[in-house]
Structure 1
Protein backbone atom coordinates (compact mmCIF):
# COMPACT_ATOMS: atom_id res chain seq x y z
CA UNK A 1 0.00 0.00 0.00
CA UNK A 2 1.30 3.41 -0.92
CA UNK A 3 1.93 5.96 1.81
CA UNK A 4 1.85 8.98 -0.45
CA UNK A 5 -0.04 12.05 0.72
CA UNK A 6 -0.73 14.70 -1.89
CA UNK A 7 -0.97 17.78 0.31
CA UNK A 8 1.55 20.61 0.20
CA UNK A 9 2.26 23.71 2.22
CA UNK A 10 0.79 25.76 -0.63
CA UNK A 11 -2.65 24.89 0.72
CA UNK A 12 -1.81 26.83 3.90
CA UNK A 13 -0.50 29.90 2.13
CA UNK A 14 -2.50 33.05 2.73
CA UNK A 15 -4.42 31.77 5.74
CA UNK A 16 -4.84 33.97 8.78
CA UNK A 17 -3.67 32.98 12.24
CA UNK A 18 -7.27 32.25 13.28
CA UNK A 19 -7.78 29.95 10.28
CA UNK A 20 -4.55 28.07 11.02
CA UNK A 21 -5.56 27.67 14.67
CA UNK A 22 -8.90 26.27 13.53
CA UNK A 23 -7.07 23.76 11.33
CA UNK A 24 -4.88 22.82 14.29
CA UNK A 25 -7.99 21.68 16.18
CA UNK A 26 -9.56 19.80 13.25
CA UNK A 27 -8.04 16.29 12.83
CA UNK A 28 -9.07 16.11 9.14
CA UNK A 29 -7.53 19.43 8.08
CA UNK A 30 -4.63 20.05 5.71
CA UNK A 31 -2.42 20.95 8.66
CA UNK A 32 -3.04 17.57 10.32
CA UNK A 33 -2.42 15.81 7.01
CA UNK A 34 0.92 17.56 6.64
CA UNK A 35 1.87 16.44 10.16
CA UNK A 36 1.05 12.83 9.27
CA UNK A 37 3.02 13.18 6.05
CA UNK A 38 6.07 14.42 7.94
CA UNK A 39 5.99 11.55 10.43
CA UNK A 40 5.61 8.97 7.64
CA UNK A 41 8.53 10.48 5.71
CA UNK A 42 10.73 10.39 8.83
CA UNK A 43 9.92 6.75 9.55
CA UNK A 44 10.55 5.74 5.93
CA UNK A 45 13.90 7.56 5.91
CA UNK A 46 14.93 5.86 9.18
CA UNK A 47 13.95 2.45 7.83
CA UNK A 48 15.95 3.00 4.61
CA UNK A 49 18.98 4.20 6.57
CA UNK A 50 18.84 1.19 8.91
CA UNK A 51 18.46 -1.20 5.97
CA UNK A 52 21.41 0.39 4.20
CA UNK A 53 23.59 0.08 7.31
CA UNK A 54 22.59 -3.57 7.80
CA UNK A 55 23.41 -4.34 4.17
CA UNK A 56 26.81 -2.67 4.48
CA UNK A 57 27.59 -4.67 7.63
CA UNK A 58 26.56 -7.93 5.94
CA UNK A 59 28.67 -7.14 2.87
CA UNK A 60 31.75 -6.40 4.95
CA UNK A 61 31.62 -9.81 6.70
Structure 2
Protein backbone atom coordinates (compact mmCIF):
# COMPACT_ATOMS: atom_id res chain seq x y z
CA UNK A 1 0.00 0.00 0.00
CA UNK A 2 1.22 3.46 -0.87
CA UNK A 3 2.06 5.89 1.90
CA UNK A 4 0.85 8.76 -0.27
CA UNK A 5 -1.63 11.05 1.47
CA UNK A 6 -3.41 13.52 -0.76
CA UNK A 7 -4.34 16.43 1.49
CA UNK A 8 -3.25 20.04 1.22
CA UNK A 9 -3.48 23.23 3.23
CA UNK A 10 -6.44 24.19 1.03
CA UNK A 11 -8.52 21.73 3.05
CA UNK A 12 -8.12 24.01 6.10
CA UNK A 13 -8.38 27.42 4.46
CA UNK A 14 -11.43 29.32 5.65
CA UNK A 15 -12.25 27.12 8.65
CA UNK A 16 -13.31 28.85 11.83
CA UNK A 17 -11.63 28.31 15.18
CA UNK A 18 -14.58 26.19 16.30
CA UNK A 19 -14.32 23.94 13.22
CA UNK A 20 -10.57 23.51 13.77
CA UNK A 21 -11.19 22.54 17.41
CA UNK A 22 -13.75 19.95 16.30
CA UNK A 23 -11.22 18.46 13.88
CA UNK A 24 -8.61 18.24 16.65
CA UNK A 25 -10.95 15.99 18.63
CA UNK A 26 -11.85 13.67 15.73
CA UNK A 27 -9.09 11.09 15.03
CA UNK A 28 -10.34 10.53 11.45
CA UNK A 29 -10.45 14.20 10.44
CA UNK A 30 -8.45 15.99 7.78
CA UNK A 31 -6.35 17.57 10.50
CA UNK A 32 -5.31 14.18 11.89
CA UNK A 33 -4.48 13.02 8.36
CA UNK A 34 -2.39 16.15 7.87
CA UNK A 35 -0.43 15.29 11.05
CA UNK A 36 0.23 11.77 9.78
CA UNK A 37 1.41 13.17 6.46
CA UNK A 38 3.86 15.53 8.17
CA UNK A 39 5.24 12.68 10.30
CA UNK A 40 5.83 10.50 7.25
CA UNK A 41 7.38 13.40 5.35
CA UNK A 42 9.82 14.19 8.16
CA UNK A 43 10.90 10.56 8.48
CA UNK A 44 11.47 10.22 4.72
CA UNK A 45 13.53 13.41 4.60
CA UNK A 46 15.59 12.27 7.60
CA UNK A 47 16.22 8.87 5.99
CA UNK A 48 17.36 10.51 2.76
CA UNK A 49 19.78 12.78 4.61
CA UNK A 50 21.27 9.80 6.47
CA UNK A 51 21.59 7.84 3.25
CA UNK A 52 23.36 10.78 1.57
CA UNK A 53 25.90 11.02 4.42
CA UNK A 54 27.02 7.44 3.92
TM superposition score normalised by structure 2 = 0.93
In 2, Cα distance between the equivalents of 1:28 and 1:19? 14
Structure with a larger share of its residues in helix: 1
RMSD, aligned CA: 0.8
Q: Which runs of 4+ in 1 moved over 2 A?
A: none
SS at match of 1:52: helix
Consecutive unaligned residues in structure 2, runs of 5 or more: none
Deviation at 1:3, TM superposition (A): 1.2
| Structure 2 counterpart of 1:13 | 13
Q: Which has the larger radius of gyration?
A: 1
**1:31 offset after TM fit, Å?**
0.5
Aligned residues: 54
Gaps in structure 1 of 5+ consecutive residues: 55-61
TM-score (norm 1): 0.83
1:48 aligns with 2:48: yes
